[in-house]
Structure 1
Amino acid sequence: MKFLIVFGSIVVPIAMLMIQHKWIKWRIVFNVASVLSTLILGNISALAIYEILRDNTVFMTSIHAIFLNPMFLITGAYLGVYLVYRLMLMTYEEVYV
């Protein structure tokens, strides 16, 4: 599983870079997906913090329940991959354009 996570974090941004280079409209798709992911991730985080403060259950382990939320994990993973993709895109444009 560790190998899959590391391998995916390298291969997926490279694939995204190649796809958007071939079909420029995919850049818009990747950007829109990142905006939606940011909104979802932020709202999930804010709601989790609100519930903890509202219920007065401010313990170190209470907030960690957020990591069990699949949408939190999916959007966080996409944003991590997207960040690497954008850094690669910026580097590519600085070197070759």
Structure 2
Amino acid sequence: MKILIILGSILIPIAMLVIQKNWMKWRILFNVVSVVSACIFGDIATLAIYEIIKDNTVFMTNIHAIFLNPLFLVTGSYLGIYFLYRLILVAVKEK
């Protein structure tokens, strides 16, 4: 599983770079999905912290329950891959 995650974090951003160079509409899609993912990711985190403050519970034990939310994990994963894609895009344009 670790190898799959490492290879995915290398190959998927490179594939995104190749795809967006060939089809400009994909660049728009990648950007829109990143904005939606950031909103969802932030809202889930915010609501989890708000619930902890409202219930006056122990922060460290309850906040880790957020990692059980699949939507949080999927949006966070996409944001990580998107961030790497953007770094590669900037590096390619600067050469």
CA RMSD for the aligned pairs? 0.6
Q: In 2, Cα distance between the equivalents of 1:18 and 1:93?
A: 13
Q: Which amino acid aligns with 2:32?
A: V
Q: Which amino acid aligns with 1:16?
A: M
Cα shift at 1:41:
0.2
Poorly superposed stretches of 4+, deviation over 4 Å? none
**How many pairs does the alignment contain?**
95
Q: In 2, Cα distance between the equivalents of 1:22 and 1:55?
A: 51
Cα shift at 1:59:
3.4
Cα shift at 1:81:
0.2
Q: In 2, Cα distance between the equivalents of 1:60 and 1:14?
A: 36
> Which string of whole-angstrom CA distances, capped at 9 and with x for unpartnered residues, describes residues 4-58 of structure 1?
0000000000000000000011110000000000000000000000000111112
**TM-score, normalised by the number of residues in structure 2:** 0.98
Within the alignment, does 1:69 sit opposite 2:69 as a pair? yes
Instruction: Provide the residue aligned with 2:54 in structure 1.
Output: 54
Could you tell me the percent identity over the aligned residues? 65
Instruction: Provide the residue aligned with 1:42 in structure 2.
Output: 42
Q: In 1, Cα distance between the equivalents of 2:21 and 2:60?
A: 44
Unpaired stretches in structure 2, ≥5 consecutive residues = none
Q: Which has the higher helix share?
A: 2
Q: In 1, Cα distance between the equivalents of 2:11 and 2:59?
A: 38
Instruction: Provide the residue aligned with 1:22 in structure 2.
Output: 22
> Which string of whole-angstrom CA distances, capped at 9 and with x for unpartnered residues, describes residues 48-90 of structure 1?
0000011111231110000000000000000000000000001
**TM-score, normalised by the number of residues in structure 1:** 0.96
